[in-house]
Chain A
Amino acid sequence: MSDTAPSPAACAACAVTPAAAVLARHDARAQEATILLALPGIDGAVGISAVERTLRGLEGVRAARVNLTQKRVTVTADPGVDPRTLTEALAAAGHEARELDADSLAATKTDRAGRDLLMRLGVAGFAAMNVMLLSVAVWSGAEGATRDLFHWISAAIALPAVLFCGQPFFRAAAAGLRRGQMNMDVPISLAIILASGMSLYETAHGGAHAYFDAAVMLTFFLLAGRYLDHRTRAVARSAAEELAALELPRAARRTASGEETVPLSEIAVGDTVLVRPGGRMPVDGVVIEGESEIDRSLLTGETLPVRAGPGDTVSAGEVTLTGPLALRVTAAGRDSSLHALTDLVAIAESGRANYRPLADRVARLYSPGVHILAALALAGWFLATHDLRLALNVAAAVLIITCPCALALAVPAVTTAASGRLFRRGVLIKSATALERMAEADVVVFDKTGTLTAGTPELEAPWSHDPQALGIAAALAEGSAHPLARALAAAARAQGVAPGAVDALREVPGYGVEALQNGVRVRLGRGDWVGAPAEDATVATTWLKIGAGAPEVFRFTDRLRPGARAAVAGLRAEGLAVRLVSGDAERAVSAMAAELGIDDWTARATPQEKAALIAALGRGGHKVLMVGDGLNDTAALSAAHVSIAPASALDAARVASDMVLVGSDLSALPEARRIAVRATRRIRENFGIAVAYNLVAVPLAMAGLVTPLIAALAMSSSSICVSLNALRVAPPRPDGTPRRAPVAEPIEV
């Protein structure tokens, strides 16, 4: 390459894609940008090659690699490439894609911790296998010098392995002790250290019993549990990061020399911020230039767009639909109305703060119990025999036997199996205890706009319109990015109506689109703009006026999200009561409730009222599952016992919820609930197995009857039982048919 280092700004395209330029600057080589895209719907080998082929065929893309495990694609591209062109190309090829902020995905850090654990797990496995083989010789009766030789070789392998592999436990135990807490890691560390130490002492004195194999195997099983736990958490965390990365916290500020893109934190009151059509207001402000319609559905749940012009105030989180706006900032960051809602969330947070996960409840009993038992064994044997060496041996055996291998695997093995299944159904778990809480829920509260509905309008009864008028309307609608216009154009296409020929098309921001058809002025837009009679203000409408003729109305309904019916029916079949709470107008809410067969609905609920309703249900002894997407839902989401937000939800709503629905299909909800119930049952069974095993093994250990062979057998069998039980979270389907209840659902286009 003759070109050594062109600055990113050297290409013309960079000036208009500041986000890509910022990413490029982070790259030391400044030659290529890394773009990350989320692919929630990708599946199978065909999907991989199709996505990669589509991306590689695009201008400026150098390499694309799909990661099916994370459902993500990493694209290496020229600095000028706009991520939006990539997502559009993928959407055209039938793959749903969303841009991710590569900066906020600190994936490398998480990976390193996981890799570290995996390496320790590998070393522990290697040591366990070898020490176990050497122990077989001892168990089968090696004596004298041979036994000592095998013990010494075992020690040479086991001691360094235990010291290296046990570090995560030692560190966690030390941290716990420093805080004055007795966590699970304390008995674990004590068991490992005491077992290795006693075995070394026995070996040096030619003793018959050495627990090297037990010490290494303990480490191995515990690390396996720890690794599974870490993986589940890492997936959840990366999901959370990924969702955070969907929102780029940047704003376009107007300066004397033009326009610059700056992080949101640098915006101050009095600045002028530019928002393009389709963009979200980053701050609270007053419009100083431009006309547009703004969509406040995420803040209030209203479906109808509101007009905004100079002098109107807008709040952070609202979306401008038709025209670009220039705002004078009145409040940014902490002071903005967006943040005020977050404060509401902080107050509501207490809803589940006092939930104690199953594992904690068990650990609280377990940790002191183990120490008391071991101390009793030590004291008892010492008093009875006055042989400290024997007493220490028995105490070590008790610690090894009670070491919570099966307990450590009981929860992570189940959550790993369950969250893997949920992930395949498009549900991400953000909180470790979400499954348990989901299983307890008995009331589900749905939000309407954006949750049960897709948040995109649909033309009502397109067949009732004159095809010619529809054609002209579609031609006009093609000229606008307004959601109603897009819905109109799509409906015309679906009806097989070709757009009529128009010229001199222009959009009048905030009003509509106008053009000339055969020299006659045609307009599509707001009722008051085309001189239409006043209509019911709760229905989204747009009007078409041809020349001097009477304006024709097009009404729109909010489209149901796919699977909404199945979700409501399925959750009801699971025994949950279903409620609908929305901030939208009464008429729209009651229509939706009737359509879905929900009797219990509330309209025009403010965010405070929503949260209060949830809290009241909670006080009434109910465990509420809240499903919502808007900012007006965030407080309710946090107040609920467990909450789910769709991926299309606003950042704050996703942060406040425990699970995120990645796909757009709501029918995953009943299955998520079923999986949660089953997973919780498995966790309880696992605790049962672990307790039963201890009930048998502990008396033996206290009686001093446990040999290293028995310890090894008991430990591995209980751990394997627990792991196998965990895998039953997803039982095989007997007849190969999907287990989802076949719910008759009309086709939703």
Chain B
Amino acid sequence: MDVLGYLIPASLLLGGLGLAAFFWTLRSDQYDDPEGDSRRILSDEYDEHPKPDSPNDDRGGS
């Protein structure tokens, strides 16, 4: 039964990792739009492109 001494902390650690991952998803707003996120994967648009300069920045020199 000595093996319990390793297995229990190991299982708690792994479970804790899962909990930490859950906290991370919670903090990074991943539950805000479950409906939309599940559809977005079907979109063929690449939405990570660098944001184009907005017209306001061009006017901003004055």
Contact = CB atoms under 8 A, between A and B. Distances in A.
Indicate, yes or no, whether A interacts with B.
yes
Given A2-B61, A45-B43, A122 B19 contact: yes
A60 B11 contact: no
B3 interface: no
A49 B45 contact: yes
B23 A122 contact: yes
A153 interface: yes
Contacts of B35: 68-69
B61 to A, nearest CB: 6
A3 interface: yes
A6 B61 CA distance: 10
B20 to A, nearest CB: 10
Given A59-B55, A62-B51, A115-B26, A3 B39 contact: no
Contacts of A78: 54-56
Interface in A432-455: none
B59 to A, nearest CB: 8
B6 interface: no
Interface string A103-126: 000000001000100110011001
A44 interface: yes
A122 B55 CA distance: 44
A482 to B, nearest CB: 35
A118 B35 CA distance: 17
A24 B16 CA distance: 43
A67 B36 contact: yes
A119 B57 CA distance: 41
Nearest to A129: B15
A171 interface: no
Nearest to A119: B26
Contacts of B43: 45, 48-49
B55 A130 contact: no
B50 interface: no
Interface residues of B, number: 33
Contacts, number: 77
A68 B19 contact: no
Most A Cβ at <10 Å: residue of B11, B23, B60: B60
Contact of B51 (A48, A63, A122, A157): A63
Interface in A9-67: 31, 44-45, 48-49, 52-53, 59-60, 62-63, 66-67
A118 B26 contact: yes
Contacts of A62: 51, 54
A66 B36 contact: yes
Contacts of A70: 33
Contacts of B4: 146, 149
Nearest to A118: B26
Say whether chain B's binding surface is mostly helix, strand, loop, or mixed.
helix
A44 B56 CA distance: 32
Contacts of A123: 19
A1 B56 CA distance: 10
Contacts of A129: 15
A340 interface: no
B54 A44 contact: no
A31 B54 CA distance: 12
A133 interface: yes
Nearest to B36: A68
A134 B7 CA distance: 11
Contact of A67 (B1, B12, B32, B62): B32
B12 A130 contact: yes
Interface in B7-62: 8, 11-12, 15-16, 18-19, 22-23, 26, 31-36, 39-45, 51, 54-57, 60-62
Contacts of B40: 45, 48
A66 B47 CA distance: 13
B36 A69 contact: yes
Nearest to B57: A1
Nearest to B32: A67
Given A130-B11, A153-B8, A68 B39 contact: yes
B52 to A, nearest CB: 9
A62 B53 CA distance: 9
Contacts of B16: 126
B61 A67 contact: no
Contacts of B33: 67-70
Contacts of B62: 3
Given A48-B36, A78-B54, A118 B31 contact: yes
Most A Cβ at <10 Å: residue of B39, B55, B62: B39
A604 B54 CA distance: 55
A410 B33 CA distance: 26
Contacts of B8: 134, 153
Given A3-B57, A60-B55, A119-B26, 4 more contacts: A2-B60, A62-B51, A68-B35, A118-B26
Interface of B: 1, 4, 8, 11-12, 15-16, 18-19, 22-23, 26, 31-36, 39-45, 51, 54-57, 60-62
8 contacts: A3-B57, A45-B43, A49-B43, A60-B56, A69-B36, A78-B54, A111-B32, A153-B8
The 5 closest A-B pairs by CB, nearest first: A3-B60, A68-B36, A45-B42, A45-B39, A69-B35
